[in-house]
Every structure is written in structure tokens, then in C-alpha cells.
Structure 1
Amino acid sequence: MKFLLIVALCLTCLCAEKSKILVVVSSSDYITLADGTKHKTGFFLSELTIPVMALLKANYEIVFANPKGNTPTMDAVGDNIQYFSSKEEHQQAKELIKIQSFINPRKLSDITEKELEGFKGVFFPGGHAPMEDLCRDINVGRVLKHFHKYQKPTALICHGPIALLSAQNENGWIYKDYKMTIFSDDEEKFAQENILHGKMKVLPSQALKNAGGELSHAKSWTSHAVRDRELITGQNPNSDHELTHLFLEALVKQKISGKKITAWDKTTRMQVDTLYNASTGNPNWQGDGHIVIYIGCKKDDSSKNFIKQLQAHVNMARKSFKENGCEGYVVYATQDIEIAYLWWTDLQTMKDFFGSELGQACMNDAKSFMDDVLFTAVSEKPVWLNEK
């Protein structure tokens, strides 16, 4: 029930600004093997739902689409609790794919260039099915070329990155020389022997290498995600959280890009869509230190005074952080979301603070009116440094 409430919240526009993410799923329910046989497959449940559930929680509107506009088919192999953190999360994933916007996705060819301008990012989940259609679909290529042109976050996981091959222009492949990852050769050989029971026409990693991609892989079945410019790719199902974190971070950078930083003091009356420097020291954002990004979403049962609550929390946090290792504090808010960059002297100092009574009080105050969406180390320097 809790998940259904979250979905209901996200699908009914309660926030002032509802940013859209396009999620492109395969239309195929099979993959053709090297000997011509067709193996039943589809999208991989966790690869689709882990990122999408995080995006919904962060108040993004999700628009599902595929080449035919037909109901996507789930790969039965992915319907397994082992790919989720709990039975509850697995059940939430199963509920998500029952919503009407997923059962009746948009047909890609119906999404105009003008409509694409309204999307902040695009995401392609995996499963073997993209090997059958997304890698050669003209409208997949059209979508990818739009997001590439405007450098908007583009995330693909497991077999999803094979869709990149569809993006060709007069100069060739638009992702040539990009750093990326995809399901590894060793992982695919295991799948051929134990799942497909046959050989594929081409190994996905080799296909991207041949096209001109710079591929990297971690040990089989371990998390590995790569970001190069607007492109974010994940190696396998176990990369879903890492890819999600990179995708959300990229979307945050896009949201605050170009915002002028306003100094904060205890008399500040917080406004939405304003980037504040609430730092209490002299952080070295460019070099030393441990930088984390936090995203919190207004609780659905909280008061309408989210900004006032957040303003009070920032003042409380600044007092708590001062002389306790957190010198950098940059904050941005909408009517529903807080985004904060925190600069700590080092990782252990941050852990010690949040393990202390003062740190616990600070976290409990935030949790009284916000749900955590993301708290992770920053993988790239904050965007305002790039704009100086």
C-alpha cells in the first residue's frame, strides 16, 4: 500500500514543477539466436524498476515508450527476489509494472521533437530484448540524437546500451570514443550456457567495441557504472543502484546549472529555485575533502510549509555542522525537494558526526518532514565550479 501511495503521489502533480523522464523499453518478447531460433525474453525487472522507483520518489514524471507502443514483456529470469533488497521491494517492482502508463506505453514515433524538448533525461533498462529491436530502431536513434545534441542525461543498463548503436548521423556513430560499459563477454557466455541455451549472433560488448566505444568491465556480476559526458551506462543487474545514483546526480547538476549562488545567513528567508551557499567554513570543493550529495523529498503527510521547515532545518544543520567537520553546505529547493551538497574534511569525520548524538538529532529533524531519496559521494565536482 505504501508504494501505491508513492506512485499515486508521483502521478498526480502535487509539485509546482514536474520534470519528465523518458523510459524506453523494448517491444520485443524474444531474441533471435545465431542458429535462427527465438528465445523468449523481455525487460529485466530490477533493471527497470530500481531506477524508476528512485526517480518517482524524487518527483520526476515517468513517460514509458517503446517502438510499437505495445505492452512490454518481462523476462521471467528477472522476476526473482535475489535482485532486490527485500520482499517488499520486489513486490513494489511488480506493482509498478501494473500501472496503465506502463501497460500502454507511448509509441516512440508519436513523440515529436518538440515533445522531446520537455524531457530532462532518458533511461533504457536491459534484458536481452533490446538486442532484437532497440539496436536498430530509427526512432530510438532519433531520441538518442536529441539527448546527445542537448547533452541531457542518458542512462542505459546491462543490455540496454546496445540501443546506442541506433544513433548514427552523417559523421557516423555519435558515441564513438565515449567511455561506456555493457553486459560483459564472460557474463554473456554464462547466459548463453545457462539461460539462452544457445549462442547469440553477436556479443553486446564486442558490438559496441566494433562501433568505436571505449569499453570497461568489472568482475562478473559486480556493480560497475561509467559516466562520460551525458552518457551513463551500467554493466549488469547488480549495477542498478550505482547507475541510479549517477543518473540522479547528473539530473541534479542539470537542475542547478546556471543558478547564481546566494549567500545564506541566519536571517535568510528561503525561496524555491534558488541556490544557496550555507557553508560554515572554507571548503575546498576543487580538491581535498569528501563531498556528498543529498536529495530529500517532502513526506506526503507533511505540512504545506515545506520551505519553512527546510529553512529551519538548514539553520539547525549549520549549527550542528560548524566545527564538526562539515564546512561546505550548498542547498537548493523546489516546493517538494531539497538538494544539498555537503563538504566534509574526510569520510571518517562524516561517519563520526552522524554516529554522534548531535548528528542523529540532525538526521531525525530532516526525517521528520522528508523522505531520503539519495545520499552518496559525488562522482564529479559540483556544477558551479565548472561555470566559474
Structure 2
Amino acid sequence: MKKILFVLPSHDDLGNTGQKTGYWLEEFAGPYYEFIDNEYEVTITSPKGGKPPVDPKSLLKENQTDYTQRLQNDKSAMEKLENTPILNQVSASDYDTLFLPGGHGPMWDLSKDKDLKKIVEDFYNDRKVISAVCHGPAGLLQATDKNGDSILKNKRVTGFTNSEEETVKLDKTVPFSLENRLKELGSNFEKSENFQPFVVNDGQIITGQNPASAFLAAKKVVEILRNME
């Protein structure tokens, strides 16, 4: 049985706006069920453990999908989300794939979490699949290869774009531009139209541009894992 490690943020303040943030429900729910329905074992973790904060906007009716509704009625899944282990208690060696959903929370904590840095590097060095969606690639920014270069250098990647950040009027709120930072690391950043599904796969690294890309990214993970069997 393949084992998937999800890492969700513990950060819940949307900058200095007085609003809350966290992970985006759709970006977790769709991939979660893609893995569960393929009979993979899923572990959910977060930097502080316990219940990771969910972005309240992702709970609004207009942002609900069949998968988010299924999740909220799934007692087993909700129990997992209530009691995530602390990130430093898990080991990359126990898992086949790392999956980082987005939401704005990762921009503040996963972007600089040292435990996540080590986990990402362990996955990378063991040639395991790493996938991140929307703002999830913020969790890959610190990771370097054995030469000290970014694991994203010369890699085709995507993530939440400057244009999308401006559209949701948070370009002045986020601590940095994800698109710019990915480019600064030497990646080959690609993008599609705002909020349209778009997934990039370069070797063991799979990235999705926005919430609409999360399920497709998970499907790509499943495809690669099957080809590795």
C-alpha cells in the first residue's frame, strides 16, 4: 500500500488584516479522496500538530465541491484533521509521496519551517514524488540538493501567480510573491490563465497553479506511482 504524507499549515493570521487563513479546503479534499479511493494510506501532519486552521473563505458555499462536502461528512477524515501529529514526529522514510496543499497559510509558516525543509530534502534525495499546489510550493522554497542548489533550480514548476494574487487583492498582504520567489530560485515558472486547472510535472516534482489544479495534481501523482510499481 502506498503511503502519502500531507503537510498542512499551522498559521492562521492573514497578515495584519485581522482576517483568518490556513489551508484551502478544496486543495486538501480532492487530493485526499483521490488517494483514499486508490486505497493509499494517508497521514496528515502540521508544524504544531492538532487541528490545522482551514481558510474560512474556503468553507463558503461557492467554494464547496463534491469532495469538500464528502470530507465534512466523513467522520474518519475529520478525526484525522482534528488530531494531526507534529511535523517533527514524522519521517520521510515512512512515505512514498509528499503532498502540500495551498491556502495562504503556508506562505507564513511552511515557507520557513526547518522540519519541513529536512523532510522535503529527504524525499528529494530518495527520489520520491513531491507535489505542491497553489501556495503549497512555498513549502519547497528552502530545500536544497546535495550540491546546495535549490531543488527547484532548472525545474518546470507552477504555483499561485502574481496575477491571481492581485485578483484576490492579497498581493500587498502576503509576505512575498510566490511566483517571484520561485523564479529567483532558478526554476522555469509556467502558468495558465487565472484560476484555470494547470499542472506541471518535471521528474519527481509535480506542482499545480491554483485550487482548480489540486485534484489533477493528485491524479498525476497516482499515475507516476503506478508507473513506478
The alignment's TM-score, normalised by the length of structure 1, stands at 0.55
The residue type equivalent to 1:165 in the other structure is: L
Match of 1:100 in 2: 79
Match of 2:204 in 1: 230
- Listed one character per residue, the Cα deviations across residues 93-127 of structure 1 (whole Å, up to 9, x for unaligned) are 22348532221111111124xxx222111101100
Structure possessing the higher radius of gyration over alpha carbons: 1
The structure richer in strand per residue is 1
Q: How many residues align?
A: 227
Match of 1:215 in 2: 189
Match of 2:215 in 1: 241
In 1, distance between residues paired with 2:151 and 2:34? Answer: 29
The residue type equivalent to 1:191 in the other structure is: V
In 1, distance between residues paired with 2:73 and 2:109? Answer: 26
The residue type equivalent to 1:151 in the other structure is: R
- Which one of 190, 197, 208 corresponds to residue 167 of structure 2? 190
In 2, distance between residues paired with 1:197 and 1:203? Answer: 7
Closer, same or farther: CA 166–31 of 1 in aligned 2, 3 Å = farther
In 1, distance between residues paired with 2:7 and 2:74? Answer: 15
Indicate the SS of the match to 1:71. coil
Closer, same or farther: CA 39–132 of 1 in aligned 2, 3 Å = farther
Q: Deviation of residue 82 (structure 1)?
A: 3.9
Indicate the SS of the match to 2:73. helix
- Listed one character per residue, the Cα deviations across residues 177-204 of structure 1 (whole Å, up to 9, x for unaligned) are 1110000111100112xxx495333211
Closer, same or farther: CA 102–82 of 1 in aligned 2, 3 Å = same
Match of 2:178 in 1: 204
Q: Does 1:56 align with 2:36?
A: yes
The residue type equivalent to 1:28 in the other structure is: H
Match of 1:110 in 2: 89
Match of 1:65 in 2: 45
In 1, distance between residues paired with 2:129 and 2:136? Answer: 15
Closer, same or farther: CA 239–187 of 1 in aligned 2, 3 Å = same
Q: Deviation of residue 62 (structure 1)?
A: 0.7
Mapping for residues 284-303 of structure 1, pairs under 5 Å: none
The answer to whether the 8 A contact 2:162-2:171 is kept is no
The residue type equivalent to 2:134 in the other structure is: C
Indicate the SS of the match to 2:110. coil
Match of 2:227 in 1: 253
The answer to whether the 8 A contact 1:23-1:65 is kept is yes
In 2, distance between residues paired with 1:225 and 1:67? Answer: 26
Higher RCO, 1 or 2 (CA under 8 Å, sep at least 6)? 2
Match of 1:44 in 2: 24
Q: Does 1:145 align with 2:121?
A: yes
Q: Deviation of residue 168 (structure 1)?
A: 3.1
The answer to whether the 8 A contact 2:34-2:219 is kept is no
- Which one of 88, 96, 103 corresponds to residue 127 of structure 1? 103
The answer to whether the 8 A contact 2:171-2:177 is kept is no
The alignment's TM-score, normalised by the length of structure 2, stands at 0.91
Q: Mean Cα displacement is larger for which, 203-212 or 121-130?
A: 203-212
Q: Deviation of residue 37 (structure 1)?
A: 4.8
Q: Does 1:90 align with 2:68?
A: yes
Match of 1:27 in 2: 10
In 2, distance between residues paired with 1:111 and 1:241? Answer: 25
In 1, distance between residues paired with 2:111 and 2:191? Answer: 20
In 1, distance between residues paired with 2:37 and 2:193? Answer: 31
The answer to whether the 8 A contact 2:50-2:81 is kept is no
Q: Deviation of residue 84 (structure 1)?
A: 4.8
CA RMSD of aligned residues (A): 1.9
In 1, distance between residues paired with 2:219 and 2:151? Answer: 25
- Listed one character per residue, the Cα deviations across residues 47-93 of structure 1 (whole Å, up to 9, x for unaligned) are 0010001101111111111111131111111114444554xx43212
Identity of aligned residues (%): 28
Q: Deviation of residue 38 (structure 1)?
A: 5.2
Give ranges in structure 2 of 5+ residues lacking alignment: none
In 1, distance between residues paired with 2:138 and 2:8? Answer: 12
The answer to whether the 8 A contact 2:23-2:55 is kept is yes
Give ranges in structure 1 of 5+ residues lacking alignment: 1-17, 257-388
- Listed one character per residue, the Cα deviations across residues 324-382 of structure 1 (whole Å, up to 9, x for unaligned) are xxxxxxxxxxxxxxxxxxxxxxxxxxxxxxxxxxxxxxxxxxxxxxxxxxxxxxxxxxx
